[in-house]
């Protein structure tokens, strides 16, 4: 919860609504309290007395100072969160603009070929069908968890307006992703109860969600507020869990599997949407890492040896959970891949995420077994992996798998 110094009792007190900060423009500056009291005491007096009281108010010099960019902070800031400019964190604003330029909607994607393939008895193998349903079962609730973490937790505690702007866009994109998975599920005529309850009924999916939920609950608790060493570390840990481990690790088995189908000209409509989602999530991950590093820079005391050891343990646990999920989704080799290949891939990704936030390499000598995924993830205004159209900074409708 955003907090500011409250050592002054205002005549008109400032309250917060469910942990959300009120607009401090409505607060009564200290030097006005005496004048306010004076007006109250003479409210029933003759007009001449009231005029004198009003003159007293007018004589109080204004003390409002315009915000300086240098005074902004990622957390525990005391500048007005409602004033976007002047910019301090221009990287956040630029990422916000980039995500807006990437806007897309699921219904723009034609699912006709996917529907025909799914309905054909020989269109997909049973292993491929299992893979698709497990993917949807995880993702339909995963993005809802990510959105809840933003709107119920992270957003309340970040005091940099530029970063809040990105978080609002990110939450909207998480909703679009949930919409996409629902659109695929409905288009294929899948059992919606089976897909949407997978996070309760499939152990490998449930284990990942149970790993994440405590990090949401910790910062969405109405009684939680930053401003102490322990609380600030709790927020930092939650940011790492979602940026580095959820969006930066837990999503990549699913992305790789569905995009591998697309590379074989199967489920191309679903694969197209997954490529848009991969593009969005890559931006979310990069923003989250920048946010983490900026928070560390402004609060170096949080990054203690003991805290780093906790984060390393979280990384190891996340890699193991995602590997179990890979084993569950593909118990046998499929699409030229197997679960063992994903063990190396997950360790490779974990190394990247760890070093991006200032940790040591966790798994030495790991290489990427899926170099084609790196080409997709690292795409920078280049050709689409499958076609010749620019896809990074334009509307989603330009992406084609034909």
Assess if residue 21 is contained within a domain: yes
- What is the percentage of the chain residues whose pLDDT exceeds 70? 78
Same-domain pairing of 111 and 41: no
Q: Is 20 left (phi over 0), alpha (psi -120 to 50) or beta?
A: beta
Q: Which domain holds residue 52?
A: 1-64
pLDDT value of position 346: 96
Same-domain pairing of 57 and 127: no
Distances in Å between the Cα of 176 and the Cα atoms of 40, 98, 107, 170, 241 are 53, 16, 10, 10, 22
Same-domain pairing of 238 and 376: yes
Same-domain pairing of 246 and 307: yes
373: confidence class by pLDDT, cuts 50, 70, 90: confident
Same-domain pairing of 123 and 19: no
Same-domain pairing of 267 and 368: yes
61: confidence class by pLDDT, cuts 50, 70, 90: low
pLDDT value of position 376: 75
Assess if residue 168 is contained within a domain: yes
Q: From CA 72, how far away is CA 61, in angstroms rounded?
A: 25
Same-domain pairing of 94 and 59: no
pLDDT value of position 23: 41
Question: Given 49, 64, 79, which residue is the final one in a domain?
Answer: 64
Q: From CA 87, how far away is CA 398, in angstroms rounded?
A: 32
Same-domain pairing of 50 and 106: no
pLDDT value of position 48: 56
- For residue 306, the domain's CATH number is 1.10.620.20
Q: Is 327 left (phi over 0), alpha (psi -120 to 50) or beta?
A: alpha
Assess if residue 131 is contained within a domain: yes
Mean pLDDT of the chain: 84
377: confidence class by pLDDT, cuts 50, 70, 90: low
Same-domain pairing of 99 and 169: yes
Is a pLDDT exceeding 80 seen at residue 16?
no
**Catalytic residue list:** 183
Question: Given 64, 79, 105, which residue is the final one in a domain?
Answer: 64
Same-domain pairing of 313 and 223: yes
- Higher-pLDDT residue of 297 and 396 is 297
Give mean pLDDT, residues 38-56: 50
Burial class from Cβ neighbours inside 10 Å (0-12, 13-18, 19+) for residue 257 reads: buried
Assess if residue 72 is contained within a domain: no
Assess if residue 44 is contained within a domain: yes
pLDDT value of position 21: 40
Assess if residue 220 is contained within a domain: yes
Is a pLDDT exceeding 60 seen at residue 2?
no
Residue 238: both structure tokens together: 């939650």
Is a pLDDT exceeding 80 seen at residue 329?
yes
Same-domain pairing of 171 and 263: yes
6: confidence class by pLDDT, cuts 50, 70, 90: very low
Give Cβ neighbours of residue 94 (< 8 Å, ≥ 6 apart).
none
Give mean pLDDT, residues 74-84: 95
Instruction: Give the tens place of pLDDT for each residue, 310-328.
Output: 999 999 999 999 999 999 9
Assess if residue 82 is contained within a domain: no
- Higher-pLDDT residue of 178 and 47 is 178
Contact 157, 2 (CB under 8 A): yes
Is a pLDDT exceeding 60 seen at residue 32?
no
Assess if residue 261 is contained within a domain: yes
Same-domain pairing of 246 and 293: yes
In the chain, the number of structural domains is 2
């Amino acid at each position: 919860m955003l907090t500011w110094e409250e050592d002054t009792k205002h005549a008109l007190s400032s309250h917060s609504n469910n942990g959300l900060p009120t607009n401090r423009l409505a607060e009564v500056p200290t030097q006005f309290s005496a004048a306010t009291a004076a007006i109250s005491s003479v409210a029933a007096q003759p007009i001449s007395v009231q005029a004198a009281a009003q003159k007293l108010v007018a004589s109080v010099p204004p003390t409002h100072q315009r915000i300086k960019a240098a005074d902004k902070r990622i957390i525990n800031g005391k500048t007005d969160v409602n004033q976007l400019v002047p910019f301090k964190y221009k990287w956040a604003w630029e990422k916000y603009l980039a995500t807006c330029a990437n806007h897309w909607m699921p219904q723009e994607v034609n699912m006709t070929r996917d529907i025909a393939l799914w309905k054909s008895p020989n269109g997909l193998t049973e292993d491929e069908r299992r893979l698709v349903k497990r993917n949807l079962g995880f993702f339909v609730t995963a993005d809802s968890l990510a959105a809840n973490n933003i709107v119920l937790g992270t957003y309340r505690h970040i005091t940099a307006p530029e970063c809040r702007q990105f978080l609002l866009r990110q939450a909207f994109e998480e909703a679009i992703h949930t919409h996409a998975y629902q659109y695929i599920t409905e288009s294929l005529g899948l059992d919606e109860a089976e897909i949407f309850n997978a996070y309760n009924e499939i152990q490998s999916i449930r284990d990942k969600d149970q790993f994440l939920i405590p990090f949401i609950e910790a910062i969405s608790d109405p009684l939680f507020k930053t401003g102490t060493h322990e609380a600030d570390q709790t927020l930092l840990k939650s940011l790492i869990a979602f940026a580095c481990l959820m969006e930066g690790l837990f999503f990549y088995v699913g992305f790789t599997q569905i995009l591998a189908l697309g590379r074989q000209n199967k489920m191309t409509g679903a694969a197209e949407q997954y490529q848009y989602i991969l593009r969005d999530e890559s931006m979310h991950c990069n923003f989250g890492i920048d946010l983490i590093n900026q928070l560390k820079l402004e609060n170096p005391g949080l990054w203690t040896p003991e805290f780093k050891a906790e984060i390393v343990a979280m990384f190891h646990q996340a890699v193991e959970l995602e590997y179990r999920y890979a084993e569950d989704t593909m118990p046998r080799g499929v699409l030229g891949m197997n679960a063992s290949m994903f063990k190396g891939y997950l360790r490779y990704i974990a190394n990247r995420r760890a070093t991006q936030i200032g940790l040591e390499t966790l798994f030495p000598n790991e290489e990427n077994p899926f170099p084609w995924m790196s080409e997709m993830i690292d795409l920078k205004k280049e050709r689409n992996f499958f076609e010749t159209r620019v896809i990074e900074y334009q509307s989603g409708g330009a992406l084609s798998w034909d």
